[in-house]
Amino acid sequence: MATEFASKAAHVDQSSGYPKNIGFALSALTSLFFMWGFITCLNDILIPYLKGAFQLSYTQAMLVQFCFFGAYVIVSIPAGNLVGRIGFQKGIVLGLLIAALGCVLFVPAAIIGLYEVFLLALFVLASGITVLQVSANPYVSALGKPETAPSRLTLTQAFNSLGTTIAPFFGAYLLFSSGQETVSSGADAVKVPYLLLATALGILAIIFAVLKLPKLVEQSDEPSTNARPLTEYPHLILGAIGIFLYVGAEVSIGSFLVSFLHQPSIAGLDEAQAAKLIAYYWGGAMVGRFIGAAIMQKVAGGKVLAFNAVVSMMLVIFAVNQTGTLAMWAMLAVGLFNSIMFPTIFSLAISGLGKEASRGSGLLCLAIVGGAIIPILQGLLADNIGLENSFFLPAACYIFIAYFGLWGCHKKSSKEAAQ
Kindly tell me if the per-residue pLDDT of 116 is higher than 80: yes
- Together in a domain, 322 and 372: yes
- Together in a domain, 64 and 190: yes
The answer to the question of residue 86 being in a domain is yes
Binned at pLDDT 50, 70 and 90, residue 13 comes out as very low
More confident call, 361 vs 335? 335
The answer to the question of residue 220 being in a domain is no
- Structural domain total, the chain: 2
What pLDDT, on the 0 to 100 scale, is given for residue 227? 64
More confident call, 121 vs 414? 121
213-to-11, 118, 140, 210 alpha-carbon distances in Å: 9, 35, 12, 9
What does the alpha-carbon distance between residue 194 and residue 183 come to, in Å, rounded to a whole number? 20
The answer to the question of residue 222 being in a domain is no
- Together in a domain, 159 and 303: no
The answer to the question of residue 111 being in a domain is yes
What pLDDT, on the 0 to 100 scale, is given for residue 282? 86
Of the candidates 75, 51, 45, 53, the residue with the CA atom closest to the CA atom of residue 63: 51
What pLDDT, on the 0 to 100 scale, is given for residue 412? 67
What pLDDT, on the 0 to 100 scale, is given for residue 15? 39
Kindly tell me if the per-residue pLDDT of 16 is higher than 60: no
Phi and psi, residue 18, nearest 5°? -120, 150
The answer to the question of residue 14 being in a domain is no
3-class secondary-structure state, position 228: coil
More confident call, 249 vs 181? 249
Kindly tell me if the per-residue pLDDT of 10 is higher than 50: no
More confident call, 4 vs 236? 236
- Together in a domain, 52 and 117: yes
Kindly tell me if the per-residue pLDDT of 46 is higher than 80: yes
- Together in a domain, 145 and 239: no
Count of positions (residues) in the chain: 419
User: What count of other Cβ atoms lies within 10 Å of the Cβ of residue 209?
Assistant: 14
Average pLDDT of span 402-408: 92
The answer to the question of residue 313 being in a domain is yes
- Together in a domain, 382 and 242: yes
Binned at pLDDT 50, 70 and 90, residue 401 comes out as very high
3-class secondary-structure state, position 19: strand
- Cβ atoms of residues 143 and 18 within 8 Å: yes
The answer to the question of residue 99 being in a domain is yes
- Together in a domain, 206 and 235: no
The answer for residues whose C-beta is within 8 angstroms of residue 264's C-beta and 6 or more apart is none
What pLDDT, on the 0 to 100 scale, is given for residue 232? 82
- Together in a domain, 66 and 205: yes
What pLDDT, on the 0 to 100 scale, is given for residue 254? 92
- Together in a domain, 306 and 163: no
Of the candidates 168, 188, 165, the residue with the CA atom closest to the CA atom of residue 178: 188
Determine which of 177-191, 259-273, 335-349 has the lowest per-residue pLDDT on average: 177-191
Average pLDDT of span 144-151: 67
What does the alpha-carbon distance between residue 257 and residue 66 come to, in Å, rounded to a whole number? 17
Q: For the domain that residue 81 is a member of, what is the CATH number?
A: 1.20.1250.20
Determine which of 150-154, 199-203, 305-309 has the lowest per-residue pLDDT on average: 150-154
Name the range with the highest mean pLDDT among 21-25, 167-171, 340-344, 375-379.
Answer: 375-379
Kindly tell me if the per-residue pLDDT of 378 is higher than 70: yes
More confident call, 86 vs 418? 86
The answer to the question of residue 215 being in a domain is no
What pLDDT, on the 0 to 100 scale, is given for residue 101? 96
- Together in a domain, 155 and 30: yes
| Residue 307: domain span | 231-407
User: Could you tell me which residues are beta bridge partners of residue 12?
Assistant: 19
Binned at pLDDT 50, 70 and 90, residue 360 comes out as confident
Average pLDDT of span 211-229: 59
More confident call, 97 vs 210? 97
- Together in a domain, 202 and 247: no
- Together in a domain, 256 and 203: no
